[in-house]
Every structure is written in structure tokens, then in C-alpha cells.
Amino acid sequence: MNTSSNAITLERGQLRCIIRPDLGGSIQSLMYCGLAGDVPVLRVPPSVVHTVRDMGSFPLVPFSNRVAKAQLQWQGTDHPLIKMGTTEPHAMHGVAWQRPWEVLESNDTFAMLSYEHKADAAWPFAFDVSQVFKLDGSTLNLTLSITNQAPSPAPVGLGWHPYFAKRPGAQLQFDATSRWEMGADKLPTVLQATSSMASPCADLDIDNCFEGWTGVVQLADELLRTRVESNLPRLVVYTKPSIDCIALEPVSHANNAINLAGANTAELERLGVRVLASGETFSAQMSINVESI
């Protein structure tokens, strides 16, 4: 695995985390370093890293998942956004993951990054965001804080997009109250009641946003037990049998939430969209705790 000279390496106890400020403020790798050698917690990037999509995890700012057809509807105005690519007609995962971040502070166990966004074609509202990484024993703690720098109220969402390594025997467990079913266009359709999920990962084929998530998800296999916690109320889960990773994404709002809500303020709140006044800040936390089996 190549590591850029711009990378920051955090190490404490059994954990080693490599951060890439130059590639979207992302995590290139998170390793558990024990008697059995280095065991990947997050998926292992290719030998040559080309884009943020190769990373183990990246931040979701100022929205998560998709904005339908890359068309943002806000306060009676249509804002065309930038599509993800030629095969993906939607805007995806915000903008901060596609921009370089500035390093404000770092040492062996701590790093603070920032990104300042000026209104552009990718997102029409100015904001700044900070991201904190801290290793504490067997836990990586992360914080995202966004401040609306636009002159008027603006919608925001936060989250993380970690891809966890999916090894033989991996088992997933979490509690939620409902999940959004997805159409062929990968956009949410209806909300269906659900119960606790406890499932082997090998044959799991899923791409859904879960509501009423209790804030804890556990992934265990023959080598590691990983526990993810967040103060965010939703969890997006994505994997399929053909890939060797599983995305477990704590997020603040439902997929395509701003457009789903339209001009309905109560619906915006119900779907998790934060409307920040100029100068107002919203913060989120996530932790990844790792133990050997």
C-alpha cells in the first residue's frame, strides 16, 4: 500500500490509523496490530491509491448518500449540482470528501483537519467544517463540526462512510425500527417497519438506510470484534456477496431527504435535515472500538 508524504499516521496501543488530508480528509487504513500481525479493521486500499473512493473511510459533508438527479430543491429554487459520474445520475456523499483538507494540528495520537467551502456548482451554500481524529486505547474517536457560512439558512447533513473489512464468518448486529426500501434508481421509496438485524455477512445483499437506529452496530469475525457507536440516528448499510467489505455509515438524515421533504419544514426535521442559521454549528461523533477475539 502506498502512503503519500501528505499522510498522517496515528498510533496508540494496538491501533494504527493513516489519514489522508490531501484525499478528502479520509482514512486510508485502520489496522489492529496484535500478536497475529496487522489485521485490517477497514478494507485494505489497492496497492496504488488513485482516488478517495479507494479509501477505508471518508466524511459525508454537507449531505450523505444521494441527491436525486443532482437537482437540489431549496426554498423555491432549483440548484443543479454535479453528478457523481457518467453512470450515476445523482449527486453523492456531499463535497468535502472530494476536496483537500488543511491540517490544523497533529501528533502521534491526534489530528484536527479543516475544509472551507465557498459556494460553487457542487454545493450552493458556503460552510466550513472541522474533523477530529483521536486514538484512545482500543478506540478511534471522530468528530465532525459544520458551520453555515452562507448569509441565509442552509440545509446540512453529516456522516461517515467507513468500509469495514468483511472476512469469513463475519456477523453483523444492530437495532433499528424501520428501513427505507430502494427503487431501481437507488433512491428511497417507502419506509417499512423492521426489527433487530443479526445476520451473517457472506451472502448479505443490502443497500438501505435504517431509521430509529440505536447508535450501536457490531461486526464480529474469527479475528476481530468491532463496535461502532454514534450520536447520529440513522445507519446506511451496504454490501453484496461479491465484495470483501461492508459499509456501515452513521448519518444524520435519510437518503435524498431534502428533496423528499420539499417545502415542508416539519418533514425536513422528521427526515433528519438540519437547517442552520448563518453562523450556526452542528456536530456529530462516531467511535470505532476494536478487540481481538
pLDDT tens digits, one per residue of 153-189 = 999 999 999 999 999 999 999 999 999 999 999 999 9
CA dist., res. 229 & res. 215, Å (int): 5
pLDDT digits (tens, 9 = 90+) for 198-218: 999 999 999 999 999 999 999
Phi, psi (5° rounding) for residue 27?
Answer: -100, 120
pLDDT at 2 over 60: no
* Contacts of residue 190, Cβ cutoff 8 Å, sequence gap at least 6: 180, 181
Report the pLDDT value the prediction gives residue 5, as an integer from 0 to 100: 72
Return the minimum-mean-pLDDT range out of 24-38, 55-69, 198-212, 269-283. Answer: 24-38
pLDDT digits (tens, 9 = 90+) for 85-134: 767 899 999 999 999 999 999 999 999 999 999 999 999 999 999 999 99
Q: How many CB atoms lie within 10 A of CB 163?
A: 25
pLDDT digits (tens, 9 = 90+) for 47-71: 777 789 899 999 999 999 999 999 9
Report the pLDDT value the prediction gives residue 262, as an integer from 0 to 100: 85
Report the pLDDT value the prediction gives residue 3, as an integer from 0 to 100: 59
CA dist., res. 65 & res. 251, Å (int): 9
Cis peptide before 62 (omega within 30 of 0): yes
Q: What is the mean pLDDT of residues 140-150?
A: 98
Q: Which three cell numbers stand for residue 13?
A: 496501543
CA dist., res. 232 & res. 32, Å (int): 25
Q: Which residue has the higher pLDDT, 293 or 245?
A: 245
CA dist., res. 140 & res. 8, Å (int): 14
Per-residue pLDDT band for 229 (boundaries 50, 70, 90) equals very high
Strands 71-74 and 77-80: antiparallel
pTM score above 0.85: yes
CA dist., res. 265 & res. 34, Å (int): 50
Domain segments of the chain as ranges = 8-292
The correct CATH number of 8-292 out of 3.90.180.10, 2.60.40.420, 2.30.30.60, 2.70.98.10 is 2.70.98.10
Per-residue pLDDT band for 4 (boundaries 50, 70, 90) equals low
What spatial distance separates the first Cα and last Cα of the chain, rounded to whole Å?
A: 26
DSSP conformation class of 85: -
pLDDT at 1 over 50: no
The average confidence (pLDDT) of the chain is: 95
pLDDT at 196 over 90: no
